[in-house]
Structure 1
């Protein structure tokens, strides 16, 4: 069964640049699964499995909530992890603090709740997931890493994605909303 989520889209030229960075990072950091560069995104609201009517309502409400929202600059600022420090489950690229992104996420999140979705309530931690599941023989140590080249980009689109677990890349855009 497919799962759905709303995300801020990453421009294709940034995805291509990140592909090169990720190839370098793979040499240093042995994670079990690396994300395909075309699947890079900033998750705004994870919906899970959903009936079509509920998705349609969420799309309508998200479209209304972000109508007139202006594009804004973002910057990839460094690397980090989620999970145990010595054996992280997620390796990510971080983003600059952005009131615009926080407000955009709040609008999308509230629209999805209004459409009847039960969303996770963890604090919003914007990032680009690069890899999952550390499998190195030594404990993870990302402190010496300066391989990530900082990237600026214009965030100008929110997308409803569908997950296809048996394909790579695995996220298909269902509906796009230009800012």
Structure 2
């Protein structure tokens, strides 16, 4: 098992954006939602979860990312509003949405899916919706509290920022929470 690791491909958010989203998390706590909050330093935009990979495959994946970003320039985007997956009746994930650049993100995601499929990673069948996970629900949510929280942050929006690189991350699941380490960074 030592020569395998959990990995994913993601975009990082600038510190000022993470700080703004951290304040949203703090304010959301007053709604007493049963949520396990994501630590701000762990926030990112996942483009592809790879699962367990062999260490020796990491460089090949980085090369594939380089191919996938050809024709995709830097993407200007902002975080905006909050919502839940999969539905208000059965929420599992509380997220901040993204505004601007969504078509470019979807194109990048499609490129990654196709290129990674060629080297043995199965395509996901679900529709890609770029988001930033704020927390995961720990049980049933009170629908009224949840709707109140979503409506209260309907106008939330960060300043625009640019995504100009992708990162291949290693993910270690520890008792205190996941620890992410950069394996490779590919710039547009």
User: 1:57-68, aligned counterparts within 5 Å?
Assistant: 57-67=60-70
* 2:45 maps to 1:45: no
Relative distance call for 1:140 and 1:110 in structure 2 (3 A) is farther
Helix, strand or coil at the partner of 2:61: helix
Give, in angstroms, the shift of residue 87 of structure 1: 4.3
Give, in angstroms, the shift of residue 67 of structure 1: 4.0
Helix, strand or coil at the partner of 2:185: strand
Note if contact 2:33-2:146 (Cα within 8 Å) is conserved in structure 1.
no
Q: Comparing 135-144 with 51-60, which one deviates more in the overlay?
A: 135-144
Note if contact 1:159-1:174 (Cα within 8 Å) is conserved in structure 2.
yes
Q: Comparing 126-135 with 147-156, which one deviates more in the overlay?
A: 147-156
- Once residues 65 and 137 of structure 1 are traced to their aligned partners in structure 2, the CA distance between those partners, rounded to angstroms, is 39
Q: State which of 151, 174, 178 in structure 1 corresponds to 2:183.
A: 174
Unaligned stretches of 5+ residues in structure 2: none
**Which residue pairs with 1:103 in the alignment?**
107
- How many residues are paired up? 179
Q: State which of 169, 182, 187 in structure 2 corresponds to 1:161.
A: 169
- Once residues 55 and 118 of structure 2 are traced to their aligned partners in structure 1, the CA distance between those partners, rounded to angstroms, is 16
Normalising to structure 2: TM-score of the pair?
0.83
Give, in angstroms, the shift of residue 35 of structure 1: 0.5
Relative distance call for 1:113 and 1:59 in structure 2 (3 A) is same
* 2:122 maps to 1:118: yes
Note if contact 2:45-2:130 (Cα within 8 Å) is conserved in structure 1.
yes
Helix, strand or coil at the partner of 1:81: strand
- Once residues 69 and 156 of structure 1 are traced to their aligned partners in structure 2, the CA distance between those partners, rounded to angstroms, is 10
Unaligned stretches of 5+ residues in structure 1: none
- Once residues 75 and 12 of structure 1 are traced to their aligned partners in structure 2, the CA distance between those partners, rounded to angstroms, is 13
Relative distance call for 1:140 and 1:172 in structure 2 (3 A) is farther
Note if contact 2:78-2:99 (Cα within 8 Å) is conserved in structure 1.
yes
